[in-house]
Structure 1
């Protein structure tokens, strides 16, 4: 049985550069992508990019009718978590497993 051929240093460096370029391209794509997160009741929508950077929060005017601060806080939290989960799914599709933190 013959042993598999070991890659040369040039081949390893070339593969590393190719991988780095793929990751940079995926990162740029994620930076341009938009994901949404929605509260369970639909009163709050959060927009973030694919890297998990928060871009906007949209609140339905109906949320102010009830003046329920706790419900609004919960809706915002749900929306941010949903956006982060959606960003993580998109990032995994583009780059493989990664951790997304909204900041």
Structure 2
């Protein structure tokens, strides 16, 4: 059983369709918002689905303790969590990319 190779026009059309799917996914990710939260819940980061930082929200409670190191750690945790959520969203939108060479 031999598989028939696609024609040049079929390959061009498949390439265009793939490019359009990528553009649609990118546009969707640009408008999506993901969040990241510190372990203690004092800092929340909002980012786009592409990982662009949009906002940082800090609980007023952190100013009562005046623990700079804890605040720095909370910000770092939140940014990392938002980045991980952006990666997960991108994988969901883009799925597995399969390339077949003939």
**Fold conserved between structures, TM > 0.5:** yes
**What is the rounded CA distance, in whole Å, between the counterparts of 1:22 and 1:55 in structure 2?**
25
Which residue of 2 is the match for residue 90 of structure 1? 89
Which residues in structure 2 correspond to 1:14-93 (within 5 Å)? 14-93=13-92
- SS of the equivalent of 1:88 reads helix
* In 2, Cα distance between equivalents of 1:95 and 1:3: 31
SS at match of 1:79: helix
Name the CA distance, whole Å, in 1 between partners of 2:56 and 2:2: 58
User: What TM-score results when the alignment is normalised by the length of structure 2?
Assistant: 0.92
Superposition TM-score, scaled by structure 1 size:
0.91
Q: Over the residues paired in the alignment, what is the CA RMSD in angstroms?
A: 0.9
The unaligned stretches of length 5 or more in structure 1 are 98-103
SS in 2 for 1:31: helix
Counterpart-to-counterpart distance in 1, 2:45 and 2:92: 21
> Which position in structure 2 is the counterpart of 1:12?
11
Paired residues, number: 96
Distance 1:60 1:4 in 2: 61
Deviation at 1:61, TM superposition (A): 0.5
Structure 2: state its 5+ residue gaps.
97-102
Q: C-alpha deviations, 1:77-98, integer Å up to 9, x for none?
A: 000000000000000000136x
The one-character-per-residue Cα deviations of 1:47-85 (angstroms, maximum 9, x if unpaired) are 000000000000000001000000000000000000000
